[in-house]
Amino acid sequence: QVQLVESGGGLVQAGGSLRLSCTTSGRTINGYAMGWFRQAPGKEREFVAAISWGVGSTYYADSLKGRFTISRDVAKNTVYLQMNSLKPEDTAVYYCARAGSNLYYTGTKFDYWGQGTQVTVSS
């Protein structure tokens, strides 16, 4: 079983930064593409970023390019989301997820999800 655990969320002022972490207490996430998603109050969950296994190709929602960076530490079995220049509209619960494959592509199915971590950006 894969249990994903996110951490690093919190309250930050607009313009600030946060780094979210996602690790597993169960089976490894190495060998799989990983993704970050978010869900704001009253809105549907949306894609934030993904990283493939191997060469580590990264993918971002167009609106977040340049502010968010996804990375992974193979030795620590952890995936990160560095978020800079945060805006109030970034306020959401952020989820990490493990894909069912080693590569990410549009339409990739994510089969394991964490519980989420709250990010609140004040104006």
Give the C-alpha separation, 99 to 116, whole Å: 16
Mean pLDDT for 59-76 is 94
Residue 55 confidence (pLDDT)? 87
Average pLDDT, the chain: 95
Dihedral sign of CA atoms 85, 75, 7, 109 in order: positive
Residue 41 confidence (pLDDT)? 93
How do residues 12-21 score in pLDDT, each as one tens digit?
A: 999 999 999 9
Residue 2 confidence (pLDDT)? 86
Closest to 53 measured CA to CA, from 90, 91, 21, 99: 99
Neighbours of 114 (CB within 10 A): 21
Q: Per-residue pLDDT for 26 more than 80? A: no
Mean pLDDT for 80-90 is 98
